[in-house]
């Protein structure tokens, strides 16, 4: 079991990976640097290996798939995850690791948005998207995360081994943030200086397609983690529509004793019935979700016990 493992998922980062590996080796020499190559075609793996990293491979394309493999393969007391594009400062890794190892943080978020991100990042839609995602998640899940989509994080053994990776791509960071919020894990924000990619290094993130995936992930996790609230919104909207169209029908019946719009009456009744079903579906799923949280807490105890056993074998 490693004390500190630096995890660097890579896809065609030959322009920057050597510097990234050497920076982390200089800043935290006690750490093991793992570079997971995700089908690069530019020699990223050989450059990383020559720089002193342990190079492994994930053939299933997508950042989420790479992180799933990393979390399954590696045992460490503290994990530091960074990108291979040299946008995150390795100089902050030691302090982020300290917050995990000494102050029992489950996840430390490298907060770009409170420092230089909006001036360094030259893509305005990325800036808007980051702000929108941060507001949405903090509002829905009642958290105070300053940067939801940062790729620079430090995590505990307990977090990594209990985090179910579902996302396949860049929406993985959003999933991690929501998981930590819903499971009441200790998250610390640590401000970092962000710098944009150097010349010759190209982003693999597509502003619109990946942005829509992130929004879809938020909605799916909102439905999964807060089902009563999610389905209550649906129930309220359907009830307003059903009652709104039903009132004129009832008003006509009271005045004339006749129902002159039977199709409207029937549809309204079905809409109101659907509203009631949606509410009770949310109620049932909320009960199941509460049971899942209880099971998660028990699983945390098991993982903590395993961690102590692995520490003794170090």
Q: Are residues 173 and 284 in the same domain?
A: no
Do 194 and 276 share a structural domain? Answer: no
Same domain, 241 and 140: no
Q: Report the alpha-carbon distance of residue 71 to residue 69 in Å, rounded.
A: 6
The mean pLDDT of 88-100, rounded to a whole number, is 95
What confidence category does residue 116 fall into, taking pLDDT thresholds of 50, 70 and 90?
Answer: low
| Confidence at residue 114, expressed as pLDDT on a 0 to 100 scale | 82
Pick from 273, 174, 289, 185: which is nearest to 228 by CA?
289
- Which of 224, 239, 258 is the last residue in one of the domains? 224
24 with 53: CB under 8 angstroms?
no
Annotate 114-132 with DSSP letters as a single string: TTTHHHH---HHHHHHHHH
Cβ proximity of 170 and 88 under 8 Å: no
Asked if 61 and 155 sit in the same domain, the reply is yes
Q: In a 3-state reduction of DSSP, which class is residue 209?
A: helix
- Residue 147's pLDDT is 86
pLDDT of 182: 86
Domain end (from 224, 254, 280): 224
Q: Do 32 and 67 belong to one domain?
A: yes
Q: Structural domain tally of the chain?
A: 2
- Are 198 and 262 within one domain? no
**Do both 21 and 128 map to the same domain?**
yes
75 shares its domain with 151: yes
* Model pLDDT for residues 24-77, shown as the tens digit of each residue: 999 999 999 999 999 999 999 999 999 999 999 999 999 999 999 999 999 999
Sheet (strand 153-156) strand order: 54-57, 32-37, 2-10, 76-81, 153-156, 107-111, 187-191
Name the band, by pLDDT with cuts 50, 70 and 90, for residue 82: very high
3-state secondary structure of 259: coil
On the question of pLDDT at 270 being above 90, the answer is: yes
Provide DSSP, 223-248. Answer: HHH-HHHHHHHHHHHHHHHHHHHHHH
Are 30 and 142 found together in one domain? yes
Q: What is the pTM of this model?
A: 0.80
Q: Which domain holds residue 264?
A: 227-313
Which whole number is the average pLDDT over 250-260? 86
**Residue 268: pLDDT above 60?**
yes
Q: What is the DSSP letter of 180?
A: H
Looking at the structure, tell me whether residues 88 and 203 fall in a common domain. Answer: yes
The contacts of residue 207 (CB under 8 Å, 6+ apart) are: 123, 125, 126, 129
Domain match, 134 and 280 both: no
Q: What is the CATH number of the domain that holds 186?
A: 3.90.550.10
User: Helices marked H in the chain — which ranges?
Assistant: 17-27, 44-51, 63-73, 93-101, 117-120, 124-141, 157-162, 172-182, 207-225, 227-256, 262-313
Question: What backbone torsions phi and psi does residue 64 show, to the nearest 5 degrees?
Answer: -60, -40
Asked which of 206, 224, 242 is the last residue of a domain, the reply is 224
Is the per-residue pLDDT at 122 higher than 60? no
51 and 74 belong to one structural domain: yes
């Amino acid at each position: 079991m490693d004390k500190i493992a630096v995890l660097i998922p890579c896809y065609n980062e030959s322009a920057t990976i050597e510097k990234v590996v050497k920076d982390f080796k200089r800043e935290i020499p006690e750490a093991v640097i793992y570079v997971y190559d995700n089908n690069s075609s530019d020699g990223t793996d050989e450059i990383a290996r020559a720089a002193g990293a342990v190079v492994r491979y994930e053939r299933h394309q997508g950042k989420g798939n790479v992180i799933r493999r990393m979390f399954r393969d590696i045992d460490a007391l503290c994990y530091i995850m960074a990108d291979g594009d040299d946008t995150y400062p390795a100089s902050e890794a030691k302090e982020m690791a300290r917050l995990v190892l000494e102050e029992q943080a489950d996840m430390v978020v490298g907060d770009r948005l409170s420092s230089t991100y909006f001036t360094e990042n030259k893509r305005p839609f990325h800036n808007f998207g980051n702000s929108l995602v941060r507001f949405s998640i903090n509002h829905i899940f009642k958290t105070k995360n300053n940067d939801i989509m940062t790729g620079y994080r430090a995590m505990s053994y307990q977090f990594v081994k209990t985090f179910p990776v579902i996302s396949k791509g860049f929406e993985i960071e959003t999933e991690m943030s929501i998981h930590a919020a819903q499971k009441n894990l200790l998250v610390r924000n640590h401000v970092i200086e962000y710098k944009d990619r150097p010349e010759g290094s190209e982003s693999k993130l597509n502003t619109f397609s990946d942005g829509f995936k992130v929004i879809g992930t938020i909605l799916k996790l909102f439905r999964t983690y807060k089902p009563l609230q999610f389905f209550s919104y649906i129930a309220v909207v359907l009830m307003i529509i059903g009652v709104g169209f039903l009132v004129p029908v009832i008003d006509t019946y009271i005045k004339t004793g006749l129902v002159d719009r039977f199709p409207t009456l029937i549809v309204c009744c079905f809409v109101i019935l659907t509203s009631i079903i949606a509410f009770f579906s949310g109620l049932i799923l909320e009960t199941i979700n509460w049971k899942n949280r209880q099971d998660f807490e028990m699983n945390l105890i098991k993982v903590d016990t395993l961690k102590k056993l692995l520490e003794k074998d170090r």
